[in-house]
């Protein structure tokens, strides 16, 4: 397909980045199951290693199947380039890597995927990095948290476990004023529901494991660059704006302009951290992206029906879904994610911990798993699983109290899902 920003999302999700295979004419993108690529001659090899010519060297860095996925996700997000990697958590480290150094910090929302909280509060300390967690609804507190060592602000558009919608534009303004990039984890919203770059984000990260692949087959991640950030505006980002010793003194911003972050991610991030996406995973995720809008529409439609049904049921205390008028984020959702508030939400069951455990055990269609964004409906009782190690107060603060379950609504028949919840709630609260 020739580049045409005028094509609609439904067309781009199938065609962006892909063209018939030049060697065979294969219509579907082949899985280039190879580690290395033959150089035309010694000059060609030297030009590739000098980044004077773009091409394939070794699959830790680049692979043609992965490259198609990178271009596709970049296009769907409205970015200039993207780097795929082995998981969503790898994408977060890869996004921070060129920005950070010992003693530097990031500011992150208090409402994040649990694994991200652990990565940011514990693991990044090993690199000498740190994270300040702030309530992103308090924009002044975010501003106040910025200091001379802050190098990025990080949040989720639709926050896992759901129900919270971030005011992306307001936080982007804080990041702009501070001269640091805003990184948005767009995993639970997907580019179909939310376009963080249009709302002012610099970088978008994904766990492609979830909705982009869509059926729970492979783990993967992606970092999309808006190409809009001026890395040379201040001296905070020497890896991008000054000679980079890890690539014999190359100045990435001067050499690659808007693609500086993407080239750095491949030439140094993947080269040295090695968190590479394999071509099989890229294949499954390419299959997933082809139906992204169709699935997201159904996820949202089903979530809306089921959340409404639950909210009106006597056995349920409350439902937190930004698609419901009762949600404090109902109005904000209309501007941040105009096509719907996603497929994730939590609800509280009368009867507390025991009732939740019985509910999870009694469900037949819903699977009890620690995952989301599958075509299948999924449920988890956080207090007895992912948030087990936390105190009751901490569980409450994380929206994972003993009486709360999180659901990831699939694309099955909504009536079947409601019937399943109905019979399981009857057993749970008998
Ligand atoms: C799953 C998830 C991640 C981590 O992704 P992995 O692919 O499991 O490493 C990060 N952020 C969000 C919002 C997620 O749902």
Instruction: Indicate if ligand 1 lies below 6 Å from the C-beta of 190.
Output: no
Instruction: Indicate if ligand 1 lies below 6 Å from the C-beta of 109.
Output: no
341 closest CA partner among 356, 351, 327: 327
Instruction: Indicate if ligand 1 lies below 6 Å from the C-beta of 208.
Output: no
Q: What is the CA 425 to chain-centroid distance, rounded? A: 32
Atom of ligand 1 nearest to the CA of 220: 7
Q: What is the pLDDT of residue 249?
A: 92
> Which of 109, 187, 277 should be mutated for ligand 1, with most atoms under 8 A from CB?
187
> Which of 115, 120, 342, 380 should be mutated for ligand 1, with most atoms under 8 A from CB?
115
How many whole angstroms from 208 Cα to the centroid of ligand 1?
8
* pTM of the shown model: 0.96
The Cα 83–Cα 409 span in angstroms is 29
> Which of 73, 89, 118, 217 should be mutated for ligand 1, with most atoms under 8 A from CB?
89
Domains and CATH numbers, the chain: 9-288 (3.40.640.10), 293-428 (3.90.1150.10)
Q: What is the pLDDT of residue 260?
A: 97
The Cα 85–Cα 221 span in angstroms is 5
Instruction: Indicate if ligand 1 lies below 6 Å from the C-beta of 374.
Output: no
How many whole angstroms from 284 Cα to the centroid of ligand 1?
17
Instruction: Indicate if ligand 1 lies below 6 Å from the C-beta of 186.
Output: no
Beta-bridge partners for 380: 406
Atom of ligand 1 nearest to the CA of 112: 13
From first to last of the 430 residues of the chain, give the pLDDT tens digit. Answer: 555 568 999 999 999 999 999 999 999 999 999 999 999 999 999 999 888 888 999 999 999 999 999 999 999 999 999 999 999 999 999 999 999 999 999 999 999 988 899 999 999 999 999 999 999 999 999 999 999 999 999 999 999 776 899 999 999 999 999 999 999 999 999 999 999 999 999 999 999 999 999 999 999 999 999 999 999 999 999 999 999 998 889 999 999 999 999 999 999 999 999 999 999 999 999 999 999 999 999 999 999 999 999 999 999 999 999 999 999 999 999 999 999 999 999 999 999 999 999 999 999 999 999 899 999 999 999 888 877 777 787 777 777 889 999 999 999 999 999 999 999 999 999 8
Going by alpha carbons, the residue nearest to atom 10 of ligand 1 is 88
Going by alpha carbons, the residue nearest to atom 1 of ligand 1 is 207
């Amino acid at each position: 397909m020739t580049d045409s920003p005028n094509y609609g999302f439904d067309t781009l999700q199938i065609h962006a980045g892909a063209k018939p295979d030049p060697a065979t004419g294969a219509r579907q993108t082949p899985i280039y199951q190879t580690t290395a690529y033959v150089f035309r001659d010694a000059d060609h090899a030297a030009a590739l290693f000098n980044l004077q010519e773009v091409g394939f060297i070794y699959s830790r860095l680049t692979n043609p199947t992965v490259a198609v996925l990178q271009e596709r996700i970049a296009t769907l997000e409205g970015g200039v380039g993207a780097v795929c990697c082995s998981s969503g958590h790898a994408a977060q480290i890869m996004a921070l890597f060129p920005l950070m150094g010992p003693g530097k910090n990031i500011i992150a929302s208090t409402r994040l995927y649990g694994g991200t909280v652990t990565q940011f509060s514990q693991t990044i300390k090993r690199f000498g990095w740190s994270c300040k967690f702030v309530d992103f609804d308090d924009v002044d507190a975010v501003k106040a948290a910025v200091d001379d060592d802050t190098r990025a602000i990080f949040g989720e558009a639709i926050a896992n476990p759901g129900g919270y919608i971030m005011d992306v534009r307001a936080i982007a303004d804080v990041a702009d004023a501070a001269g640091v990039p805003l990184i948005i984890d767009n995993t639970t919203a997907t580019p179909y529901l939310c376009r963080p770059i249009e709302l002012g984000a610099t970088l978008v990260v994904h766990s492609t494991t979830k909705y982009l692949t869509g059926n729970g087959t492979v783990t993967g991640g992606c970092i999309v660059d808006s190409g809009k950030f001026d890395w040379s505006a201040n001296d905070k980002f020497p890896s991008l704006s000054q000679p980079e010793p890890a690539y014999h003194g190359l100045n990435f911003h001067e050499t690659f302009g808007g693609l500086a972050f993407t080239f750095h991610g491949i030439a140094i991030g993947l080269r040295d951290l090695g968190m590479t996406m394999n071509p099989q995973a890229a294949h499954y995720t390419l299959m997933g992206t082809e139906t992204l809008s169709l699935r997201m529409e159904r996820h949202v439609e089903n979530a809306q029906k089921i959340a409404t049904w639950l909210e009106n049921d006597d056995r349920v205390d409350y439902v937190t879904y930004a698609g419901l008028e009762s949600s404090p984020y109902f109005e904000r959702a209309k501007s941040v994610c105009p096509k719907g508030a996603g497929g994730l939400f939590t609800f509280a069951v009368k009867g507390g911990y025991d009732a939740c455990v019985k509910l999870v055990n009694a469900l037949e269609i819903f699977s009890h798993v620690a995952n989301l964004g599958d075509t299948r409906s999924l449920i988890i009782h956080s207090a007895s699983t992912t948030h087990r190690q936390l105190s009751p107060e901490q569980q409450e603060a994380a929206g994972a109290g003993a009486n709360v379950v999180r659901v990831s609504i699939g694309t099955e028949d909504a009536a079947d899902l409601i019937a399943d919840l109905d019979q399981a709630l009857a057993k749970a609260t008998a």
